[in-house]
Amino acid sequence: MRNALIAAVSFGLAGLATPASAQTFPTDDPVIRQMWQLGMVDGQSAELAQTLLDSIGGRLTGTPPLDQGHDWLVHMYRSWGIEARKEQYGTWTGWRRGITHIDMLTPRVRTLEGTLLGWSAGTSGPVTGDVILFPDVSSPEAFQQWLPQVRGRFVLLEYPRLSCRPASQWQEYGQAGSGGRGGRGGRGGGAATPSSYARLGLRQDSLGGLYAARLRAADGGQGNPANRLRTALEQAGAAGVLQSNWSNETGINKVFTANTRAIPALDLSCEDYGLLFRLAENNQSPTIRVNAEAEFLGDVPTFNTIATIPGTELPNEYILLSAHFDSFDSSSGATDNGTGTITMLEAMRILKQAYPNPRRTILAGHWAGEEQGLNGSRAFAADHPEIVEGLQALLNQDNGTGRVVTIGMQGLVNVASNFGDWLSRIPTEISGHIRLAIPGSPLGGGSDYASFICAGAPAFSLSALSWDYGSYTWHTNRDTYDKVVIDDLENNATLTAMLAYLASEDDRLDRTRQVGVTWPECRDGARTAPGGN
């Protein structure tokens, strides 16, 4: 069936220009030509991404899917004749996610959209309880007096959004005199005015601020009180805590992790959280039933996956293809960072076929623990100073599914000419999109290049087009396979393979640093979870 579908699509596109017929080659380099064929014509990015994202899914550090994913990476590399291994760098809190069902029972029946936060306890079967607001108290002492009332109830830990329409709609329909897109019957006329949008923002800030002040007054401590208050509610016997981290896009939430070990911490959609809040605020007695499965697994080993194509002439100098493998797990971890993972995996497949005996050793590093502070890559750099010292170039990709459009020189003042030469040899269908940021500055965080540039090693970020990454897929419940732009993924894998080949063949990159720039300090990655289990 799949072959029939491909044949039908190919027939339908027969009259269009295809990558195979449209490419240009600024050099006659047969390796570059073969890489184009392997990556842009006969690429495997779509199939690899589908398996990783649909079958394995989200890969939270310490969970079975992440370990399953490492085993899959090793299997794929070995099937291509590439040496690969799982390398342990520490342990982490082991946790297994199960199903999450959240249903409102009163004052009416409705199934709610939401999920259990990572590393949160489950419910040991269905639990039913009232939903209540966090109390309006003036001091930690008053909060302690109130706490017994929480037993068996679900507590709303933050103020809801007054509108779950994205700002783009308010801006479109709020333009004075604008008809917007029109409504049924083509009436148009706009649904809001600029002043109504402004009033909404003022009300949101005011009411949200007042509710946040409740939490600060109850906590009496410094900084964000959410984790401390979750612990207090947990110890007082609450049935669970509820929140909603809306991403300012329709139906999309940021979903991170929690610190509760005895009760569930749940993230609800913007709409459903607001529903429960309004009902509780107006004394309309909302009750929910939650069945959330989760299991703590003790401290479990955590790994990086390292793949190697040995160098023939300079085996102790290295090209390192870099992408973090872990993700948050409310969805599939597709663009953060499944696409970076597939970019490097597919690039290694291309390299093995088109450049099987590289001048320098080519490594791929698939890091765990990036979401908790670049732990996997920092640990690898600390454990392998010889690789940091011998690094010719590191290529890292970690900002979504779009084609690579910017490469920063990271404050290394003499490497732009190398990149300029490499890009001049790559087909303009790929290189024509790319801008070099010269000299750039050494970035101390953000992704795994920071674990190496801190030592002055040539470590570069392949920065991609946004595709609304920050609001739409980064750490959200919608970061799924369908959001992957396959053409751009193939582009990035092919680009990475070509850059790795050209860097491997080039003279050693100069590590001279930009004067007057404060260089970030290197540090080891966390080898165990804070606080343990």
pLDDT digits (tens, 9 = 90+) for 376-385: 999 999 999 9
Looking at the structure, tell me whether residues 68 and 166 fall in a common domain. Answer: no
Q: Is 382 inside a domain boundary?
A: yes
Looking at the structure, tell me whether residues 275 and 330 fall in a common domain. Answer: no
Looking at the structure, tell me whether residues 461 and 436 fall in a common domain. Answer: yes
Looking at the structure, tell me whether residues 423 and 473 fall in a common domain. Answer: yes
Looking at the structure, tell me whether residues 263 and 325 fall in a common domain. Answer: no
Looking at the structure, tell me whether residues 116 and 64 fall in a common domain. Answer: no
Looking at the structure, tell me whether residues 215 and 341 fall in a common domain. Answer: no
Q: DSSP letters of 353-375?
A: HH-SS-SEEEEEEEES-GGGTSH
**Taking 80 as the threshold, does the pLDDT of residue 181 lie above it?**
no
Give the ranges where 236-370 is alpha helix by DSSP (H): 270-281, 339-354
Q: Is 321 inside a domain boundary?
A: yes
Q: Is 526 inside a domain boundary?
A: no
- Choosing from 256, 285, 314, the residue where a domain stops is 285
Q: Which of 425, 409, 431, 449 is nearest to 491 (CA)?
A: 431
Looking at the structure, tell me whether residues 369 and 402 fall in a common domain. Answer: yes
pLDDT digits (tens, 9 = 90+) for 404-421: 999 999 999 999 999 999
pLDDT at 513: 97
pLDDT band at 25 (very low <50, low <70, confident <90, very high): confident
- Residue 345 maps to which CATH number? 3.40.630.10
For residue 431, give the 3-state DSSP assignment. Answer: helix
**Taking 90 as the threshold, does the pLDDT of residue 207 lie above it?**
yes
Q: DSSP letters of 48-75?
A: HHHIIIIII----TTSHHHHHHHHHHHH
- Please count the structural domains in the chain: 2
pLDDT band at 221 (very low <50, low <70, confident <90, very high): confident
Residue 392 backbone phi and psi in degrees, to 5: -85, -45
Q: Is 451 inside a domain boundary?
A: yes
- Percent of the chain exceeding pLDDT 70 equals 92
User: What's the average model confidence in pLDDT over 326-335?
Assistant: 97
- Choosing from 252, 285, 318, the residue where a domain stops is 285
- Percent of the chain exceeding pLDDT 90 equals 86
Looking at the structure, tell me whether residues 265 and 310 fall in a common domain. Answer: no
pLDDT at 17: 37
Q: Which of 98, 115, 128, 478 is nearest to 266 (CA)?
A: 115
pLDDT at 308: 99
Q: What is the pTM of this model?
A: 0.92
Looking at the structure, tell me whether residues 65 and 162 fall in a common domain. Answer: no
For residue 490, give the 3-state DSSP assignment. Answer: helix
Q: Is 433 inside a domain boundary?
A: yes
Looking at the chain, the number of H-run helices and the number of E-run strands are 17, 16
Contact predicate 448/321, CB 8 Å? no
Looking at the structure, tell me whether residues 257 and 401 fall in a common domain. Answer: no
* Structural domain for 228, as ranges: 108-171+193-285
Looking at the structure, tell me whether residues 322 and 365 fall in a common domain. Answer: yes
Neighbours of 184 (CB within 10 A): 5
**Taking 70 as the threshold, does the pLDDT of residue 432 lie above it?**
yes
Q: Is 101 inside a domain boundary?
A: no
Q: Is 62 inside a domain boundary?
A: yes
- Choosing from 251, 285, 319, the residue where a domain stops is 285
Q: Is 181 inside a domain boundary?
A: no
